[in-house]
Structure 1
Amino acid sequence: MKHIKLVILLLLGAVVVSCQKDFLEPVPSSGITSANYYTTADEVETAVINMYDGIQGVNSTDPDDNHGVQNEFYLTEMRSDNTRTKSQEGEAAQFESYNVAATNGIVSNYYASFYNVIFRANVVLANLGVVEDPKAAAKFEAEAKFVRAYAYFNLVRLFGDIPLIDRVITPSDTDVQFTRVATSSIYELIESDLTTAIAGLDNTYKTRASKAAAQALLAKVYLTEGNYLPAQNLCEDIINTGSFGLMDNFNDVFYSELNKEIIFAIGYLASPSSDSEYFSAEWMNGVGRSSGVNYVTSDAVGALDASGGDRTQYSYRIDPFQTSQNQVAKYFPNGDSGGADGKTFANDPTTAGNDWIVLRYADVLLMHVEAIMAGANETSNGAALTSFQKVRNRAGLTTPVTSVTKDDLLLERRVELAFENHRLFDLIRFGKAESVLSAYSANNGYGYTSSDLLLPIPQNEINISKGLMKQNPGY
């Protein structure tokens, strides 16, 4: 973990803080060691905010910077049948062709970035003793455990067995850093952390952890494990609060930020550039760290055209310069349309302020259907039909449904949540990844095999572990 070791050393010497739009923005400090900095609740809160800064990532062109969630679409959407590169060139094209190398820098960056997020969460947990107010301490613990669970849930689904680091470690703790533990142990920690988070949080924030965010994330964890009744109960807890709802206009979900549909989002600001994001510019081609990535596949276009309803016009658009190609339209930088030429934006598109939505209410409604279905191929349960119909009604698809099959639900999730990094995980959770991705790969001349459902452990981790870490099969 070369990157992680470096970050640990840096963070032990200084405290880095973030600017988020709907919570406290503390003043940065420097030249303060971890041994003497955390003495008050306010100081611990800077470490809390620093966790979200880690997820947000650094907007830069330096491949060694931790880019947080900004690289996630490569590892998720571009390994599904939803998106690809424009020209099938470069390191990015490894994802769509199912030919990811263990030396892939994007994979390495994501792995290091999210272990750095875990480190930041562990820093908060290690310093709760200085918080005199028990309520404040419980809230900080809940936030840190939500963030740690979120990071681990992403990592375990992408890499399988991984190191479990539940405390602050130093670079000398190689036995912890490089010992891969069973996924079941990772899920035990995730469940425990989210249970604590649910007990200690309310629904004050949308770009910080909340009770509903912890409930929704735990529901998805349970669905992944096939634990359906607890998942159903968690979804119904969120639904019954009355605190969330579907936006009337689908487009407003993405450009009316912090709206009633948002449960948890990663906050970005167009200024300063350190709090902005670049990935929406990359999707518009020719701007950002890369270009022509996350382009929409013909498979996804076909699904949206046939089943998207009102969502289709807001989900993709034809590339203005190459009309045989299609671009993601949910995240125009800063909400700009891109102008007539597709590249002219009112502001610098590489410093966009679009929040990245992690959990939203439509996802919860569809998870509710999935939980009630409980692994069966079909359901006509009234509560499931109600949740399913609400999502379709918003899309203008108002014909009443009398039953929902697993394929219906998977399709509805695809067109509702297209390009929001859910598709690959949905295919795996529904048990459809092997059949869908094999057919998709064969149709496009790609090289998918079952081992491609997991990413390789970054080769630099294997190298510096000195034989402690073993690679995933197929790499």
Structure 2
Amino acid sequence: MKQIQIITLLVMGILISSCGEDYLDPTPVSSIGSNGFYKNEAEVQAAVVNIYDGLQLAVQREFAITEMRSDNTKTRSSEGDWAQFEDLNVKSTNSTVADYWAMFYNVIFRANTVLENLDAAGDSAPKFEGEAKFTRALSYFNLVRLFGDVPLIDKVIGPTDTEYFDRDSTADIYALIISDLQTAIQNLDNTYKGRASKVAAQALLAKVYLTLKNYGDAQDLCEDVIGTSGIALAPTFRDVFYTERNSEILFAIEYVNDIADNSQDFSLEFTQNGRVRGLNYATPELITAFNNYGGAARTSTSLIYDDTSTAPAIPDPLQDYRCGKFVSNSTANQQNGNDWIVLRLADVLLMHVEAILAGGDVTSSSSAIASFKKVRDRAGLPTGSNITKEDLLNERRVELAFENHRFFDLVRLGVAEQVLSDFATANGIVFTTSDLLLPIPEREIGVSFGKLTQNPGY
């Protein structure tokens, strides 16, 4: 990882599982146990770095269970398990869903391991606590929004700790997320963009509060982020993605070209050379949205025409367009170095508008218009004298396309059922309200001693 020392084989020996194993399996992969390992600050620091290594793996297929379950993206050829996402027909045996669950619980395990060994961290203990709690909160925020009630595991557990195998209420999960992020805000500074920071924790907590309809606290946090020294929109939209660690980035998961353990392959999958000849391709509906609301700079950066011939002057919804934000830049194809952006300022500026809307349909607040205008100005587009919820949804869609926000935006703003139902009808597929949650992976139910139950509709 950029700016982070690559972890040694000795440190890797403390892990309980690889990303593909069930999260309930606590067996170490080597004879080096965590009880005897964490003796000083350097060793705890290595465990902190290990959390980010886990995130590198965990987010690589997130596009499938977010963007491809919305009206934004699809596969190029509608083949295999990937087509379950675009068809809103995800099975409990889907391996991508199972791996996502296991990977994020593995990140939670790594964070819990750090939190249980802070006594060895010396003066760095508060910072390491903030990083561990930020990453644990991020993991649980993703899981609770995608699966609903999930097991709350706030310590390193063993195979006999079956009381942790139950599903806990979303209220309890959100209480832990909020507490973790409040600690992270208190303990962190803004040194890093590829590691947890105060400003990233503030932005994430603001999004949590928006999800819970706590608009006042969300607005305050957004304004804190917007006013933070050194945080500013990148000069051009393209700079956001092709000048890494720029002023707009609050938190990104960092990768390096051509180093297998620190590279990603989603950039390759977003092309016709990827598996099933292309994943995360723009739907006709997304292409139309760019034509209506995108502006030239955002459209040309976001969409790449998939033909070798000259692209149409105006993107054609009947043609294939792939994501242009994370173009493969590796000599080894599957070992790309494009960072995955989790939080950036444009998202927060639009969250600020959402907080001021406070569940309403329109606002003429000068503060909301000022934030909206910053995003629109960079796109070369005018801003009116008021902002509707529909304006906000359209702006978020084209500004943040392919960045895994659309599905969560639809749910949070209360329009998911209508939008996805209309999308399904137009595309000859079936949508039911149970599709708003993913199935609990069948293999996890199988190893939970009957504790885990399935979501309705699966």
TM-score (norm 2): 0.92
Q: Distance in 1 between matches of 2:393 and 2:250?
A: 21
Instruction: Select the residue among 218, 223, 234 that pairs with 2:221.
Output: 234
Corresponding residue number in structure 2 for 1:256 = 243
Q: Distance in 1 between matches of 2:189 and 2:328?
A: 31
Corresponding residue number in structure 2 for 1:353 = 337
> Match for 1:50: what amino acid?
N
| Matching of residue 76 in structure 1 with residue 48 in structure 2 | no
Please state how far the C-alpha of 1:286 moved relative to its aligned partner.
2.2
Corresponding residue number in structure 1 for 2:20 = none
Q: Distance in 1 between matches of 2:398 and 2:36?
A: 51
Alpha-carbon displacement from aligned partner over 1:186-234 (angstroms, at most 9, x marks no partner): 0000000000000000000001000000000000000000000100000
Q: Distance in 2 between matches of 1:275 and 1:291?
A: 24
Corresponding residue number in structure 2 for 1:292 = 278
| Matching of residue 422 in structure 1 with residue 405 in structure 2 | yes
> Match for 2:97: what amino acid?
V
Gaps of 5+ in 1: 1-19, 58-67, 335-345
- Matched position secondary structure for 2:113: helix
- Matched position secondary structure for 2:271: coil
Instruction: Select the residue among 77, 81, 99 that pairs with 2:89.
Output: 99
Corresponding residue number in structure 2 for 1:389 = 373
Alpha-carbon displacement from aligned partner over 1:413-456 (angstroms, at most 9, x marks no partner): 00000010000000000000000000000000111110000000
- Matched position secondary structure for 1:163: coil
Q: How does 1:270-281 map to 2 (within 5 A)?
A: 270-281=257-268
Corresponding residue number in structure 1 for 2:392 = 409
Q: Distance in 2 between matches of 1:243 and 1:173?
A: 46
| Matching of residue 164 in structure 1 with residue 159 in structure 2 | no
Corresponding residue number in structure 1 for 2:3 = 22
Q: Distance in 2 between matches of 1:219 and 1:232?
A: 7
Please state how far the C-alpha of 1:26 moved relative to its aligned partner.
4.7
Q: Distance in 2 between matches of 1:455 and 1:227?
A: 25
Instruction: Select the residue among 379, 386, 400 that pairs with 2:363.
Output: 379
Please state how far the C-alpha of 1:153 moved relative to its aligned partner.
0.1
Corresponding residue number in structure 1 for 2:128 = 140
Q: Distance in 2 between matches of 1:152 and 1:234?
A: 20
TM-score (norm 1): 0.89
Corresponding residue number in structure 1 for 2:16 = none
Instruction: Select the residue among 320, 323, 328 that pairs with 1:333.
Output: 328
Contact 2:200 2:251 in 1 (8 A): yes
Q: Distance in 1 between matches of 2:209 and 2:331?
A: 42
Q: Distance in 1 between matches of 2:33 and 2:455?
A: 38
Corresponding residue number in structure 2 for 1:174 = 162
Q: Distance in 1 between matches of 2:269 and 2:308?
A: 15
Aligned alpha-carbon RMSD (Å):
1.3
Q: Distance in 1 between matches of 2:328 and 2:379?
A: 24
| Matching of residue 154 in structure 1 with residue 137 in structure 2 | no
Q: Distance in 2 between matches of 1:466 and 1:272?
A: 40
Please state how far the C-alpha of 1:81 moved relative to its aligned partner.
0.2
Corresponding residue number in structure 2 for 1:337 = none
- Matched position secondary structure for 2:237: coil
Q: Distance in 2 between matches of 1:168 and 1:272?
A: 30
Please state how far the C-alpha of 1:469 moved relative to its aligned partner.
1.3
Contact 2:306 2:322 in 1 (8 A): yes
Corresponding residue number in structure 2 for 1:33 = 33
| Distance of aligned partners of 1:373 and 1:357 in 2 relative to their CA distance in 1, 3 Å threshold | same
305-314 vs 384-393, which deviates more?
Answer: 305-314
The size of the alignment, in residue pairs, is 430
- Matched position secondary structure for 1:357: strand
Q: Distance in 2 between matches of 1:359 and 1:157?
A: 17
> Match for 1:416: what amino acid?
E
Instruction: Select the residue among 179, 184, 187 that pairs with 1:192.
Output: 179
Corresponding residue number in structure 2 for 1:457 = 440
Please state how far the C-alpha of 1:320 moved relative to its aligned partner.
1.5
> Match for 2:50: what amino acid?
N
347-356 vs 434-443, which deviates more?
Answer: 347-356
Please state how far the C-alpha of 1:321 moved relative to its aligned partner.
5.9
> Match for 1:193: what amino acid?
D
Q: Distance in 1 between matches of 2:228 and 2:163?
A: 44
> Match for 1:302: what amino acid?
T
214-223 vs 366-375, which deviates more?
Answer: 366-375
Q: Distance in 2 between matches of 1:248 and 1:290?
A: 36
Please state how far the C-alpha of 1:326 moved relative to its aligned partner.
1.4
| Matching of residue 130 in structure 1 with residue 120 in structure 2 | yes
Corresponding residue number in structure 1 for 2:292 = 306
Alpha-carbon displacement from aligned partner over 1:152-174 (angstroms, at most 9, x marks no partner): 00000000000000000123322
Alpha-carbon displacement from aligned partner over 1:279-330 (angstroms, at most 9, x marks no partner): 110111223x554211110000000111100201111122126982111111
- Matched position secondary structure for 1:359: strand
